[in-house]
Amino acid sequence: MSTRTAQPGVLLTDHRIEVPLDHDAPGAERLTLFVREAVAPDRESDELPYLLYLQGGPGSPGPRPQGADGWLKRALRDYRVLLLDQRGTGRSTPVNRQTLPRRGTPQEQAAYLAHFRADSIVRDAESVRRTLLGPSGNWSLLGQSFGGFCTLTYLSQAPQHLRECFVTGGLPGLRATAEDVYRAAYPRVRAKNERHYARYPQDAAVARRIAEHLVKEDVALPDGRRLTVEGFQSLGLLLGSGSGSHQLHWLLEDPWVPGADGEELADAFLAAVQERLSFAANPLYAALHEAIYAQRSVGGEPTAWAAQRVRAEFPEFDPAAERLLFTGEMIYPWMFDTDPVLKPLRQAAYLLAERTDWPDLYDPQRLAANRVPVYAAVYHDDMYVDRDDSLATAEAVGGVRTWITNEWEHDGLRVSGGEVLDRLIRMSREGL
pLDDT digits (tens, 9 = 90+) for 397-419: 999 999 999 999 999 999 999 99
Tell me the pLDDT band of 73, cut-offs 50, 70 and 90.
Answer: very high
- Pair (312, 375) in one structural domain: no
Q: What is the pLDDT of residue 309?
A: 98
Mean per-residue pLDDT for 234-252?
Answer: 97
Tell me the pLDDT band of 385, cut-offs 50, 70 and 90.
Answer: very high
* CATH number of the domain bearing residue 51: 3.40.50.1820
Mean per-residue pLDDT for 144-148?
Answer: 98
Q: What is the pLDDT of residue 261?
A: 86
Maximum Cα–Cα distance across the chain: 71
Domain with 98 in it:
3-174+362-430
On the question of pLDDT at 103 being above 80, the answer is yes
On the question of pLDDT at 384 being above 90, the answer is yes
Mean per-residue pLDDT for 357-363?
Answer: 97
User: Higher pLDDT residue, 431 or 365?
Assistant: 365
- Pair (426, 298) in one structural domain: no
Tell me the pLDDT band of 430, cut-offs 50, 70 and 90.
Answer: confident
Mean per-residue pLDDT for 359-370?
Answer: 98
Question: pLDDT tens for residues 26-71?
Answer: 999 999 999 999 999 999 999 999 999 999 999 999 999 999 999 9
> Dihedral angle at the C-alpha atoms of 214, 215, 219, 224, nearest 10 degrees?
110
Backbone angles phi, psi at 120, to 5 degrees: -75, -35
- Pair (114, 246) in one structural domain: no
Boundary of a domain, candidates 304, 325, 353: 353
- Pair (221, 79) in one structural domain: no
- Pair (338, 397) in one structural domain: no
Q: Check 120, 140, 145, 278 and give the catalytic one.
A: 145
Q: What is the pLDDT of residue 179?
A: 97
- Pair (107, 120) in one structural domain: yes
Q: What percent of the chain has pLDDT over 70?
A: 99
- Pair (79, 45) in one structural domain: yes
Residue 118: CB atoms within 10 A of its CB come to: 27
- Mean pLDDT, the chain, rounded, equals 96
Q: What percent of the chain has pLDDT over 90?
A: 97
- Pair (60, 195) in one structural domain: no
- Pair (335, 413) in one structural domain: no
- Pair (250, 335) in one structural domain: yes
Rounded (10°) angle between helices 346-353 and 106-113: 60
> How many separate domains does the chain show?
2
Q: What is the pLDDT of residue 431?
A: 63
Tell me the pLDDT band of 107, cut-offs 50, 70 and 90.
Answer: very high
Tell me the pLDDT band of 120, cut-offs 50, 70 and 90.
Answer: very high
On the question of pLDDT at 2 being above 90, the answer is no
Boundary of a domain, candidates 336, 353, 370: 353
Known catalytic residue at 380: no
On the question of pLDDT at 1 being above 90, the answer is no
Mean per-residue pLDDT for 350-379?
Answer: 97
Question: pLDDT tens for residues 204-229?
Answer: 999 999 999 999 999 999 999 999 99
- Pair (189, 42) in one structural domain: no
Known catalytic residue at 339: no
Boundary of a domain, candidates 319, 336, 353: 353
Residue 432: CB atoms within 10 A of its CB come to: 11
On the question of pLDDT at 265 being above 80, the answer is yes
- Pair (134, 224) in one structural domain: no
Known catalytic residue at 145: yes
Q: Check 278, 382, 410, 428 and give the catalytic one.
A: 410
